[in-house]
Structures are given as structure tokens and as C-alpha cells.
Amino acid sequence: MIMIAYYVITAFVLVLFGWNFVREKKSRDDLVLYLLVMIPLLLRLLRVK
């Protein structure tokens, strides 16, 4: 149950960063940072190490 909750939190954070990434129009630096932050979140959800 707790593990599932953590996957839900991870997915929520990933969606927020993905959303911000898509809507980011001004800063190229921020786009790269969004991608960097999304790497571990996405791979954790996909259970890829």
C-alpha cells in the first residue's frame, strides 16, 4: 500500500514537471533541467534501473 502511494507521488511529480516542460517557452536552460529531473522519476515508474 505504502509502495503504491510512493509510485502515485512519483507519477504526480513527473506529470507536473512534464506539464511545465511542455508549457515552458522562455528558458532553454529550464527545458534541459526539466528533462534532467524527469529522468529518475520516469525510470522509477517504469521500474528500469
Partner 1 sequence: MTTQILIILAVMVAAYVAAKAAKLSVELSMFASALAGGVAGAFLKTPPLADLGRHLVEGSFTYLDVILVFFTATLFMTIVNESGGVVYVVRATLRVFGKKRVLVLLVLMVIVLIPGALTGAGSVSLLVVGAPVAMALGRLGVPRKKVAAILFIVAGLSAAAPPVNIWAMILCAGTAIPYVGFEFTLGIPVLILGTFTVLVLGWKKDPGAAAGPAELPEPPKGMTWWRVLLPFAVFFGLVIAYRAWPFATPIFGLSLEFAVAGAAALLLSPKKIPFLTLARDTAKRLLPLLATMVVVGMLQQIMTVTGVRGLLSFAVISTPLVLLFFLLPVIIPFSEGILTYGGAAIIGIPLIWFLDSIGFHATVVIAGLSLLWPLGDGLPPTALIGRLSNMVSGYDGSYREFLKATWLPWLVITAAGMAMIIFSSKLTFLVKWSM
Candidates 11, 22, 26, 41: give the one binding partner 1 (CB under 8 A).
41
Other C-beta atoms closer than 10 Å to the C-beta of 17 total 18
30 binds partner 1 (CB under 8 A): yes
Gap between the Cα atoms of 41 and 43, Å rounded: 6
45 binds partner 1 (CB under 8 A): no
Other C-beta atoms closer than 10 Å to the C-beta of 41 total 19
Q: Catalog residues that contact partner 1 under the rule CB under 8 A.
A: 2, 5-6, 9-10, 12-13, 16-17, 19-20, 29-30, 32-34, 36-37, 39-41, 43-44, 49
